[in-house]
Structure 1
Amino acid sequence: AELDDDQHWSDEIPSDAETELRMQHRAALEAELELRVSENEDEQPAPTPGYQERSPAQVPSPAPSPEEQAGLLSPGHSP
């Protein structure tokens, strides 16, 4: 498989412009990632116990947990 890859690349060597475009694109992506990380850090104050667990930034899924859903849908009907 490695030999095939080498042959493929030797057949079509990317031009300098292409290489530069890729490098710029990668740099832009990395900068965007760093921006998101720093934004997330700014949003979160010094972590207090219990705060991080409920922080939406730490939970990847948008749906609330079953306990939360039950509490939201039926307030006053706690088991």
Structure 2
Amino acid sequence: MDTSKHTMNTLFEQLGLPSDEASVDQFIGKHSPLPAGTAIQDAPFWSESQSNFLEEGLEQDSDWAEIIDELDARMRH
């Protein structure tokens, strides 16, 4: 069982995206702010598998949920 704490970098790795700090910041800057009323998993820039991963992580309150919430918050500013 993986008991390591997930980070923004590991979330981006899991999503198949470049995961270094500069790439994460660039992605967030490019796609922010999310429109009000748009759930993070429903944003148009995710692939179907990325969207499903985010949705499942939140719905199942998985160990990814906290960092997905952090990404959501960062993308709304």
Normalised by the length of structure 1, the TM-score is: 0.26
Q: Which has the higher contact order (CA 8 A, sep 6+)?
A: 2
The structure whose Rg is larger is 1
More helix by share: 1
Normalised by the length of structure 2, the TM-score is: 0.27
